[in-house]
Amino acid sequence: MHNDWFEDDNEIRLLRRGKRRLLDIVFGRTMVITLLLVLQIAIMVLGAHYLGRYYPALTIVLRVLSVAVIIYLVNKSGSATTKITWIILVMALPAFGVLLYLFVQLDIGHRYANRRVQESILSTVQYVPRQTELMARLRTELPEVHNLAEYTLRSGDYPVYENTAVTYYPMGQDKIGALIEALQSAEHFIFLEYFILEKGLMWDSVLEILRERAAAGVEVCVIYDDFGCIQRLSASYPKELAGFNIKAVPYNPMRPSMDPSLNYRDHRKICVIDGQVGFTGGINLADEYINKVERFGHWKDTSVLLRGTAVRSLTRMFLQQWTLNAGSDTLDRPEEEYLTARALPAQGYVQPYPDSPLDHFNVAENAYLHLIQRADHYVYITTPYLILDNEFVTTLKTAAESGVDVRIITPSHPDKWYVHMVSRSYYQTLIQSGVKIYEYQPGFIHAKMCLCDDEAAMVGTANLDYRSLYLHYENAVLLYHTPVLAEIKKDIEETLEKSRLITIEELRSKLRGTSALCALLKLLAPLM
C-alpha cells in the first residue's frame, strides 16, 4: 500500500545499529542496572541464609510467617496459577520466599501510583458521554455486545461508540505509510505512546515529521517505556527531543533498585492526531515491525486506524498516562480541548479500552474470555506467546469441546526460546480438547487479535502471558458488526495458510528431553 517512502537500501545503517546495540549492552546502563540488581538479590538471599543459620528463633518466626502467607494465598482472590507458584516458592525456601512475597506485597510505590492513576482518570471522566440511549438499544438488540460493552465501561469508564470508521492494516509496512500521511496533516497536536522507539528508518522517518510539525507550532507529546527502550535510547533522549520542541517522558525509568513497581511497564501503542485520528495495535516504531530488519524471520503484525467519536477514548488513555508521568500542567491546553473527536458515518460499534496493572480489573484477559465464551461457531486468536492461567485454559478447552472451531496462531521463530518452550508446554492439553494450534512458518507473529463468529473482534497490544495480562499497561479496540471484520477474517485465513498445524506427535518430538525444564519454566512463568 504505502511503501514507496522506504525503498532505499539500509544495510550500512543496520550494520552500524547492530554494533551500537552490542556496545550499549556491554558498556551502557543496562549492564550497570543488571549488575546492581544481581548484587541486591545476592545480598537478600545471603541475608536470609545468615538469619536462618545464626538466629534459630528467627527461623521459627519465618516458618510461622510462611504458614500465614500460604493461608493468605489460599483465601486470596486472583489467578490460581500465580498463587500456586508463590506457595511452592514459600514452602521450598521459607526465609527467602516469605521475605520476597512480603517485599512484593508491601509495594508502596504501587499504592502511590494507583492514587495518581485514579486522579488522572477523574480528570477526564467528566468528558465521557454516558451513551444511555445506545446502551439501552444494545441491551435489546444485541445483548451479547451490551454485556461486554457494559463490563469495559464499568472497569474504566470507556464506552462503546458508533460513528467511527475503522481501517485495518495486516502488516507494519501497510500502517507506516498511513501513519506518515496522518502525521503530516497534524494542525494542533500529536500524541504518541509506544513501548518501543528505536532509531532507524521507521522512527527516523516519523521523527522527521514530528520535528517539522513541532516547528510549525503543533504540540507534540511522546511517551515511551524506559525498559522497552533501555538498549535503544539513551537516558538523555528526552532532552534531545526537547531541542526540537518535542515533549517526551520515559515511563517508569529503570533504576538499580529492588522496586516491585519496575515490573509495571507501558506496553501500549497509541497515536492520536488532532483528536480525530487514532492508531493502535501491536506495531512499535522500530524497523523489524516493517520488515526492514530481519529478526526471527518475517515479522507479522497488525494495526487499526480509527476516525470518529471512538478516538476520544484513545485520547483519554494518553492524557491519563501523560498526567501520571508528566503532569497536566505540562500540556498546552485544558484536557477537554483535546477531546474533540467528530462523528463520521460508519456501520457497527467500536470500543477502545485500556488495562492497568494498578486496579482490580483484569480487563485484557476478561475481554478475551468473554469473546471465547460467547462464540457459537469459531474463535481465531493470534498471539506471540501462549502462557495462560488455569481459567483461560479451561475456557479454551470448554469452547473446543462444545464444538466451537478454536484456532490459535503462534510463531515458529520465537524471540525468546524459553518463552516459546513454555508456550509449547500448553499445547498438548489444548490440542487434546480439540483446540487447533498453528505456528506461523515464515517467522514471528506479533499480532494480538481475537475474531469471533464474523460478529466481533479485538485488536490490541496485550500478549497472552502473565506480564501483559497482569503487570503491563495495555490497550485494545473491540469491534462489533463493523465491515472491517471481513478484512480481519481474510487476513487470518491467509495467515493460517502460511502456518503449520501442530499435531500431538510433532509436539512430543519437539519437546523430547525437555519435560523437566518445561515444567520448571511453566511453574516460574507467573514470576517472569
3-state secondary structure 376-409: CCEEEEECCCECCCHHHHHHHHHHHHCCCEEEEE
Q: Which segments within 290-398 are labelled E, that is strand?
A: 298-300, 303-308, 349-355, 378-382
pLDDT of 383 reads 97
Average per-residue pLDDT for the chain: 86
Is the pLDDT reported for residue 199 higher than 70?
A: yes
Cα 519–Cα 409–Cα 493 angle in degrees, nearest 5: 165
Nearest alpha carbon to residue 387 among 81, 86, 83: 81
pLDDT band at 302 (very low <50, low <70, confident <90, very high): very high
- Which residue type occupies 270? I
Is the pLDDT reported for residue 240 higher than 70?
A: yes
Is the pLDDT reported for residue 122 higher than 80?
A: no
Is the pLDDT reported for residue 9 higher than 50?
A: no
pLDDT of 441 reads 97
pLDDT of 47 reads 67
pLDDT of 25 reads 46
In whole angstroms, what is the distance from residue 157 CA to residue 121 CA? 9
pLDDT band at 156 (very low <50, low <70, confident <90, very high): confident
Dihedral of alpha carbons 111, 51, 258, 467, sign:
negative
Higher pLDDT, 35 or 279: 279
> Can you read off the three cell numbers belonging to residue 129?
458521554
Q: Which tens digit of pLDDT belongs to each residue from 447-499? A: 999 999 999 999 999 999 988 998 899 999 999 999 999 999 999 999 999 99
pLDDT band at 126 (very low <50, low <70, confident <90, very high): confident
CB 384 within 8 A of CB 483: no
Share of the chain above pLDDT 70, in %: 84
Is the pLDDT reported for residue 254 higher than 90?
A: no
Confidence (pTM): 0.87
Helix, strand and coil content of the chain, in percent to the nearest 5, comes to 50, 20, 30
Q: Which tens digit of pLDDT belongs to each residue from 381-419? A: 999 999 998 899 999 999 999 999 999 999 999 988 888
**Which residue ranges form the domains of the chain, and what is each CATH number?**
25-109 (no CATH), 110-141+162-348 (3.30.870.10), 363-527 (3.30.870.10)
Q: Cell 533522549, residue?
A: 237
pLDDT of 52 reads 60
Determine the length of the chain. Answer: 528
pLDDT of 68 reads 86
- Mean of pLDDT values over 315-329: 90
Is the pLDDT reported for residue 295 higher than 90?
A: no
> Can you read off the three cell numbers belonging to residue 86?
508463590
Q: Cell 451479547, residue?
A: 144
pLDDT of 212 reads 97
- Mean of pLDDT values over 253-271: 81
Kindly list the strands in the beta sheet with 219-225, ordered across the sheet, starting from the edge strand earlier in the chain: 164-169, 303-308, 277-281, 269-273, 189-194, 219-225, 247-251
pLDDT of 131 reads 84
pLDDT of 256 reads 62
pLDDT of 14 reads 45
pLDDT band at 3 (very low <50, low <70, confident <90, very high): very low
Q: Which tens digit of pLDDT belongs to each residue from 79-99? A: 777 888 888 888 877 777 777
In whole angstroms, what is the distance from residue 442 CA to residue 297 CA? 6
pLDDT of 110 reads 61
